[in-house]
Structure 1
């Protein structure tokens, strides 16, 4: 073999080796979430997928709600390493990470969208304290973000806690949310999401809560007649990775993932502007008989008073750790208030 041929052969071998190494490093990662692909979590996941695939050789497979089971199932699969990413509300991780239930203390989060978004961007509790708690469960907390004001949908009108008396109200399997609706006067009934529509249809339950876009997309308005804005909460969700998976990545891939999360975070906040009003308009068009009520400050006062007991119960459930997070969240919220 001539010298030049050896050079060319060596170059070809190097190129082939580099190609094989690149192929070996290009992985397919699985990402499950709790909503449909067209809902807020699905829009976030799609944007994240686009960013990862545009900036790496990796591929993201998306699994919307129901394709891999209920919320508890996808969390177990993430902890086991079957899934690399999961989007799940603290409402379902409350028994796993009790402190995460702080997001269900009523009237804690602001209703002002600008303040709310800045809180999620800058909160020390979210960005510094919660990652340690998630890590204890084998999870890498990548970010948290809001999904919209929570509304109550019921079969009868709600103007105060007395109207929820003996109402079987579906809640997520979250101990503090159970206590919240007890304090509000209802009979809280934890149910997996897949059973909610049928439960309302057959009157096993008479109410449920969710952001407006989700009420529209899941057609909850078909089996309830009243939508009530009580201003008591904004739905929060969290993006996590299996910790062993994430820590096993190169620094370059870790940065690429965090950058993709940051892009998707800002994208989803922008996407949600006006979404509640759009969803409400669509519901009114689909069901003109629906009654929508925004409680006045006077009507909200008894709910806000009940929330004080829920806050005390949160501290009782979680001890010093929960109290520290609650105090930090209040400080974080004060920092973003006008």
Structure 2
């Protein structure tokens, strides 16, 4: 803890020295994420970096480090909190170590559609997110945007139509409590695996299945190690874009305004991209040899909704109030 305080103190001193004459007029931001090439989140980050440079007339430049170049999820979040990484993005639940209730924005079966998901996670207008953001700021991180990646679905090495098909089987869980709870609701044994290790874990049988948006499944060629795709749509995959609070306060008001507008514009583009790409991705994955299961093929989405929602309610009773706020968003 002492080392952490010293590091934060040094970061604050360095930033303070740079701000003696007021907010910085130029800034270079390091933007990290774990997304692979071709994924919507990777396209988003690259477009946001270019848009921020243009919108700020070159005063703020952003260098993006994709594919876990600066570490896994935990390392990235810690880096942003400490200021060694300026900003990043990942599932809202990746910030739950700092503020547990932020995970609610990734809870399964809570959004009506993609537009509702973006509205409920808008830092400027969503009461639920604003309440959580106030707590995150006290921890050194601020959410300033979001990305829509599309619905998350289950892939496996055998047909999965009901939670009973996964009973007792090792299934990859994102190494976060919310995902562990959800996978329990699937009926499976939650087995944490970092995204960079996922193809190998699937190939070697450490886990027999996983869940992700179609963009991730396709861009990571998971069809090479998974035979079936069950279109559960259990999550509307929304990622939080977050920044170190001291760095954010070191920017001018005009720069912050320009950045948030760029991120909001790119969020809307990500929703459009995800919506348009899903049909194409299903056809693409079928062409690569995957068997796609829908409700017409006996997939029981209602059973997954019932089991998963009950597990989340049991494991996260504090979600009740923010879930009501999210449901009320138009």
**2:292 is the alignment partner of 1:315:** no
Unaligned runs of 5+ residues in structure 1 are: 1-20
> What is the rounded CA distance, in whole Å, between the counterparts of 1:144 and 1:300 in structure 2?
27
Q: TM-score, normalised by structure 2?
A: 0.85
5 Å-filtered alignment, 1:19-58, equals: 25-56=25-56, 57=58, 58=60
| Alignment check: 8 A CA contact 2:162 2:299 kept | no
Structure 1 residues 267 and 219 mapped into 2: Cα distance closer, same or farther (>3 Å)?
A: same
| Post-superposition CA distance 1:120-146 (Å, at most 9, x none) | 4553323x2231132132111102232
How many angstroms does 1:66 deviate by?
2.3
Q: Which residue of the partner structure matches residue 326 of structure 1?
A: 323
Structure 1 residues 205 and 315 mapped into 2: Cα distance closer, same or farther (>3 Å)?
A: closer
Tell me which of 209, 212, 229 is aligned to 1:210: 212
Q: Which residue of the partner structure matches residue 256 of structure 1?
A: 258
SS of 1:132's equivalent in the other structure is: helix
| Alignment check: 8 A CA contact 1:79 1:138 kept | yes
State the 4+ residue runs in structure 1 displaced beyond 6 angstroms.
none
RMSD: 2.1
How many angstroms does 1:118 deviate by?
4.4
| Alignment check: 8 A CA contact 1:171 1:208 kept | yes
SS of 1:231's equivalent in the other structure is: strand
SS of 1:62's equivalent in the other structure is: strand
SS of 2:210's equivalent in the other structure is: strand
> What is the rounded CA distance, in whole Å, between the counterparts of 2:307 and 2:144 in structure 1?
33
Q: Which residue of the partner structure matches residue 291 of structure 1?
A: 291
SS of 1:95's equivalent in the other structure is: coil
| Alignment check: 8 A CA contact 1:129 1:325 kept | no
SS of 1:232's equivalent in the other structure is: strand
Structure 1 residues 271 and 286 mapped into 2: Cα distance closer, same or farther (>3 Å)?
A: same
| Alignment check: 8 A CA contact 1:31 1:61 kept | yes
Unaligned runs of 5+ residues in structure 2 are: 1-20
Q: Which residue of the partner structure matches residue 14 of structure 2?
A: none
Structure 1 residues 254 and 114 mapped into 2: Cα distance closer, same or farther (>3 Å)?
A: closer
SS of 2:251's equivalent in the other structure is: coil
How many angstroms does 1:114 deviate by?
4.3
> What is the rounded CA distance, in whole Å, between the counterparts of 2:106 and 2:120 in structure 1?
16
User: Which structure is larger by alpha-carbon Rg, 1 or 2?
Assistant: 1
Tell me which of 276, 282, 303 is aligned to 2:278: 276
Q: Which residue of the partner structure matches residue 8 of structure 2?
A: none
> What is the rounded CA distance, in whole Å, between the counterparts of 1:217 and 1:302 in structure 2?
29
| Alignment check: 8 A CA contact 1:120 1:145 kept | no
SS of 1:96's equivalent in the other structure is: coil
| Post-superposition CA distance 1:63-115 (Å, at most 9, x none) | 002211211111111111111111111242233332122234332122x3444
| Alignment check: 8 A CA contact 2:293 2:299 kept | no
Equivalenced residue count is: 303
How many angstroms does 1:205 deviate by?
0.6
SS of 1:230's equivalent in the other structure is: strand
Q: Which residue of the partner structure matches residue 124 of structure 1?
A: 127
Q: TM-score, normalised by structure 1?
A: 0.83
